[in-house]
Amino acid sequence: MTCRRNAPRFLAATLATSLAALAPAFASDAIVDAQGDTVVVAPGHASLQKWLLPETAPSPADNVTTPERVALGKKLFFDPRLSGTGRSSCATCHLPERGWSDGYPKSIRFMGEVMTRASPTLVNTGYNTIQQWDGRSPTLEHQAANGMSATGSMNGGSEKPVTGVANIGRIKGYVDAFERAYPGEPLNVATLAKAISAFERSIVSRNSPFDRWVRGDATALTAEQVRGFRVFIDPAGGNCSVCHAPPNFTDNGFHNLGLMSFGEDNPDVGRFKQRPVALLKGAFKTPTLRDVALSAPYFHDGSARNLREVVDHYVTGGQVRSNLSPNMRPLALGPEDRAALVAFMEALTTPTEVFVYPVLPP
Amino acid sequence: MRPLLALLTLAVVSASAQAADFVVDQKGNQFAPRKLSVKVGDTVEFRNTDTTPHNVFSLSAPKTFDLGAFTKGQSKKVTFDKPGVVEVECAIHPEMKMSVEVKD
């Protein structure tokens, strides 16, 4: 009788205990993120799938990615004969072993002159909808053609791309490869740029521990990295995903981060030169964060030596606040949250095999 | 106090009387609609319903404007006073584009 009389109470107590155990879990695992979506921080959860990238980067109708085009572009990417001087190539500033950047705070051009900005990574650039730190190229093809002409990038100048094209056009291996990749199309700056773009679209990172965790592998991230992800997407935490948005960790947008360099005389105004709108003075494109651990130093001016310094900068809310992005504000993040953010960003690296450099046609 | 109150009330009424002829929403980093046809003198209200700030602007000759950054729930109005096609963008998110055709 006693047992029977107490059974409802026991059940109620058990239910209450269970609910109490569950309630905090639900409450703490769900976050309304910077995009306004309710996200449940659990491996494989449906609300996280927006962070996954398509298997291949999209390509334009007149330059659909094919293996022949990628192979040709890979050779051209590493070939200095494409440059006006014959002494620099795309790989001068975009090295596969340096996260497709170059490891310098600001790139070093031919003859040792320092350029004005850091070399942006090429990882996942094919998924981006606008190219270069200031967005002056709407497409990869436009950027590649520009790069061949730019004095800084390929040390060419107005006449030099012609030299590069002529150089390539005299090499039988390239002429044959072009015919296979772009049958019936002339070998010129436009098709050279197409081939290089096809190769760049193949530089993809989408199988990092984070990606595997999003797909459902609960062991792919450490507890600290999961904590870092929470901080990353929480508007009241790091608020990082307001700009480093899904799926490619970029909003393809432009922001003034309040870096010290913006306070210097005649600072680099970035996007403002392309679009003279007040907010864009000193604004630069949000880079992807996939493989970010491989491409130090950071920011367009290379002013952060490591990811810890990047996080510390954001915690301050920016040092030069005369034209800050509206997304910037000081962050109340303690040492553990800061460390967790760095740990999370380190979980965005896709393990890669040793990169095999191409054999260039003689 | 009463004349002042009346004046304030009149000001509020006047503001609401200048209600926009058209509303363009900013949601999911897109303008909606992406094309709009208006008449000279019409007012368009740009409303942000995204959680992220946007900065609507145009550098087109018939109407150059910069509304600055504004956040969710806020809106700003533009009166189009000359005929022509006005290309509108978000400064922060250049994928956000729309055009307003202003007719005589």
Confidence (pLDDT) at A162: 67
* Mean pLDDT across A250-264: 98
Q: Are A141 and A190 in contact (CB under 8 A)?
A: yes
Ordered by where they begin, the domains of chain A are 31-53+206-346 (1.10.760.10), 61-200 (1.10.760.10)
* Residue A2 pLDDT class (50, 70, 90 cuts): very low
By Cβ distance, the residue of A251, A276, A277 closest to B93 is A251
Map residue A61 onto helix, strand or coil: helix
Which member of B29, B52, B94 has the closest CB to residue A135?
B94
Closest of A115, A137, A284, A279 to residue A197, by C-alpha = A137
Q: Of residues A354 and A261, which shows the higher confidence score?
A: A261
Q: How confident is the model at residue A108 (pLDDT cuts 50, 70, 90)?
A: confident
> What are the tens digits of pLDDT across the range A80-102?
999 888 888 999 999 999 999 98
- Whole-Å CA distances, A91 to A70, A287, A354: 15, 19, 16
- Chain A interface, best mutation among B92, B96, B97, by max A CB count within 10 A: B92
A23: Cβ–Cβ under 8 A, 6 or more apart, which residues? none
Name residue A282's amino acid. Answer: G
Mean pLDDT, residues B20-25: 94
Q: Report the C-alpha dihedral over residues A283, A37, A56, A59, rounded to 10 degrees.
A: -50
- Inform me whether the C-beta atom of residue B65 falls under 8 Å from chain A C-beta atoms: no
> CB-based contact (8 Å) between B27 and chain A?
no
Mean pLDDT computed over B3-13: 42
Q: CB neighbours of A113 closer than 8 A, spacing ≥ 6?
A: none
Contact residues on chain B for A36, CB-CB shorter than 8 A: 50-51
The dihedral sign for the CA sequence A65, A66, A67, A71: negative
Taking 70 as the threshold, does the pLDDT of residue A179 lie above it?
Answer: yes
Closest alpha carbon within chain A to B69: A326
ipTM (interface pTM): 0.86
pLDDT at A198 over 90: yes
Provide mean pLDDT across the span A21-31.
Answer: 57
Q: What is the pLDDT of residues A59-77, one digit of tens each?
A: 999 999 999 999 999 999 9
Q: Does B73 reach chain A within 8 Å, measured CB to CB?
A: no
Q: Is the pLDDT of residue B2 over 60?
A: no
pLDDT at A42 over 90: yes
How far apart are the C-alpha atoms of A221 and A347, rounded to whole Å? 7
Q: Which residues of B touch A280 (CB under 8 A)?
A: 91
Residue A206 identity: R
Three-point CA angle A257, A259, A260, nearest 5°:
160
Residue A353 pLDDT? 81
pLDDT digits (tens, 9 = 90+) for B35-92: 999 999 999 999 999 999 999 999 999 999 999 999 999 999 999 999 999 999 999 9
Whether residues A279 and B69 touch (CB distance < 8 A) is answered with yes
Helix (H) or strand (E) holding A29: helix A2-29
- Residue of chain A whose alpha carbon sits nearest to that of B90: A253
pLDDT of residue A346: 98
Taking 50 as the threshold, does the pLDDT of residue A277 lie above it? yes
Longest dimension (CA), chain A: 100
Residues of A in contact with B95 (CB under 8 A): 129-130, 252
Note the pLDDT of residue A146: 86
Q: Output the six-digit token pair for A44.
A: 């494989």
Would you state the pLDDT for residue A154?
Answer: 59
Tokens of A158: 């107005």
B57 touches chain A (CB under 8 A): yes
Distance in Å from the first CA to the final CA of chain A? 96
Q: Which residues of A touch B (CB under 8 A)?
A: 34-36, 129-130, 135, 235, 242, 251-255, 271, 275-280, 283, 325-327
Query: How far, in Å, CA of A295 to CA of A303, rounded?
Result: 13
CB contact under 8 A, A275 and B89: yes
Lowest mean pLDDT among A11-20, A52-61, A216-225: A11-20
Percent of chain A with pLDDT over 90: 79
Contact A129 B55 (CB under 8 A): no
Strand segments, DSSP code E, in chain A are 30-32, 38-40, 254-255, 284-285
- Answer whether B92 sits within 8 Å of A278, measured CB to CB: no
Residues in chain A closer than 8 A to B52 (CB atoms) = 34-35, 242, 251, 327
Q: What is the CB-side half-sphere exposure of residue A296 using CA atoms within 13 A?
A: 11
Q: What is the pLDDT of residue A83?
A: 86
Task: For chain A, give the mean pLDDT.
Answer: 90
Segments of B1-104 assigned E as strands: 22-27, 30-32, 35-39, 43-48, 54-58, 65-70, 75-79, 84-90, 97-103
Q: Residue B11's pLDDT is what? A: 40
- The answer, yes or no, to whether residue A28 has pLDDT greater than 70, is no
pLDDT score for A160 = 57
Task: Using alpha carbons, select from A186, A210, A167 the residue that is nearest to residue A79.
Answer: A167
- pLDDT over 80 at A49, yes or no: yes
Domains with residue ranges and CATH for chain B: 20-103 (2.60.40.420)
- Place B15 in a pLDDT band, splitting at 50, 70 and 90: very low
Share of chain A above pLDDT 70, in %: 88
Strand partners, A267: none
- For the segment A194-207, the average pLDDT, to the nearest whole number, is 98
Best residue of A243, A279, A323 to probe chain B, by most B CBs closer than 10 Å = A279
Give the span between the Cα atoms of A352 and A25, in whole angstroms: 35
Q: Tokens for B49? A: 């319903």
pLDDT band at A114 (very low <50, low <70, confident <90, very high): confident
Classify residue A159 by its DSSP letter: S
